[in-house]
Structure 1
Amino acid sequence: MAKVLVLYHSTYGHIETMAGAVAEGAASVEGVTVDIKRVAETVPEELAKASHYKLDQAAPIATVDDLKDYDAIIIGAGTRFGTVASQMRAFLDQTGGLWFTGALTGKVGGAFTASATQHGGQETTFQGIHNYFLHHGMVVAGLPYGYQAMMTLDTVEGGSPYGATTITAGDGSRQPSEIELGGARYQGKHIAEITKKLHG
């Protein structure tokens, strides 16, 4: 069985929802098992509560050593000023030991993200995460244009060849649309299929 990890950080629940859709798509591939885990919140609890963070998330907290156990790692986190959220960066910065031993070499990596606005730094966020995968010797997979729904101009939608995305609005009021969730499922399935070919 090929093993896929969906690893995420979600402040207000948007990325948590997207992570569920990515996992659903990956799990639809026969011979693939999927786990969803999240990275630890680094914001002090009092501040997180005062800022209305979504703290009731069911996914267990991941450890760095967990990454060795999977054939694919799909990372989701929000965009912060054109780069990935600091909570995810803090987790990834602890993987130097895995890099030193080549523990992630040959695994498949993919990413998904969110921003408040249509052009809020999503592509530069992907670039940073993809750089991480490449430094670990991983194979990078995005969201192919085979998912043609992301090409619509009829409504405001996320979606990128670099990975699934959602747009949250400045106040966080916009939830992932069906097109965006469909992109997340498509990407999850796409990565799982590649992983199965390489590691199944």
Structure 2
Amino acid sequence: MSNVRLAVIYYSTYGTNYAMAQEGAAAAREAGAEVRLLKVRETAPESVVAGQAAWKAQAERTASVPEASAADMEWANAYLFSAPTRFGTVASQMRAFIDTLGGAWQGGHLANKAVSAMTSAQNMHGGQESTLLGLYTTFMHWGSIIVAPGYTDPSLFAAGGNPYGTSSNMGALSDETKAAVRFQSRRLVEFAGKIAS
């Protein structure tokens, strides 16, 4: 058992980032971390969600997943974020959650904790890299320690070669993407353990 308490925090409209978060959580547990899998609150109007069958189905499938809170952020000593890109930046639901963390940030509760991020878009080059870099800018403001996967494992090249974090096209995850997520999560747990010791 490691000394890592990992909050895997995701937003997923249709299920891609939920699948990535699940994969990352499983790999972290296998690496010995204590893991909380958490979603951020949906901010789109209920009528909009209900008007799109796939969006509504995903919301119903994950109704029992707890919502992330500032208390979860304070509990954790490592974070793995996963959310889709929207017009080159992270989905507004994730930004809305981040915007609730001012008190935790001001209290120093987000500093000196390992963090990594993943994303997806409808197509390759749909804003994945700028989304991850934008999230990392926020994490730098927190004083968190960014643990990007870099080019440190062959799985990253097989999954598309994004050194900032695993990124996927929308839809079912390929075996290559799953392998990259699992590597990124294990790497995060490894460095989180070193930071926490």
Same fold by TM (over 0.5)? yes
Q: What SS does the corresponding residue of 2:181 show, helix, strand or coil?
A: helix
Query: 2:155, 2:183 within 8 Å by CA — same for their partners in 1?
Result: no
CA deviation after TM superposition for structure 1 residue 19, in Å:
0.3
5+ residue gaps, structure 1: 169-173
Q: What SS does the corresponding residue of 1:46 show, helix, strand or coil?
A: helix
Instruction: Give the aligned CA root-mean-square deviation in angstroms.
Output: 1.3
Residues of 1 paired with 2:160 and 2:103: CA distance? 35
Per-residue CA deviation, residues 115-148 of structure 1 (Å, 9 max, x unaligned), is: 0111001111011110111000000011232321
Query: 2:118, 2:166 within 8 Å by CA — same for their partners in 1?
Result: yes
Q: Does residue 42 of structure 1 match 2:29?
A: no
Q: Does residue 25 of structure 1 match 2:22?
A: no
Residues of 2 paired with 1:70 and 1:179: CA distance? 28
Task: Give the structure 1 partner of residue 93 of structure 2.
Answer: 87
Q: Equivalences for 1:180-195 in 2 at 5 Å?
A: 180-195=177-192
Q: What SS does the corresponding residue of 1:68 show, helix, strand or coil?
A: helix
Structure 1 window deviating more from structure 2 (64-73 vs 139-148): it is 139-148
5+ residue gaps, structure 2: none
Number of residue pairs aligned between Structure 1 and Structure 2: 190
Residues of 2 paired with 1:69 and 1:158: CA distance? 33
Query: 1:110, 1:141 within 8 Å by CA — same for their partners in 2?
Result: yes
Query: 1:5, 1:36 within 8 Å by CA — same for their partners in 2?
Result: yes
Per-residue CA deviation, residues 25-59 of structure 1 (Å, 9 max, x unaligned), is: 211213x2111000011111221021231112142
Q: What SS does the corresponding residue of 1:112 show, helix, strand or coil?
A: strand
Q: Equivalences for 1:51-70 in 2 at 5 Å?
A: 51-52=52-53, 53=55, 54-55=58-59, 56-57=61-62, 58-70=64-76
Residues of 1 paired with 2:193 and 2:88: CA distance? 32
Q: What SS does the corresponding residue of 1:4 show, helix, strand or coil?
A: strand
Which of the pair is proportionally richer in helix?
2
Query: 2:83, 2:120 within 8 Å by CA — same for their partners in 1?
Result: yes
Residues of 1 paired with 2:89 and 2:131: CA distance? 4
Percent identity of paired positions between Structure 1 and Structure 2: 34
Task: Give the structure 2 partner of residue 171 of structure 1.
Answer: none
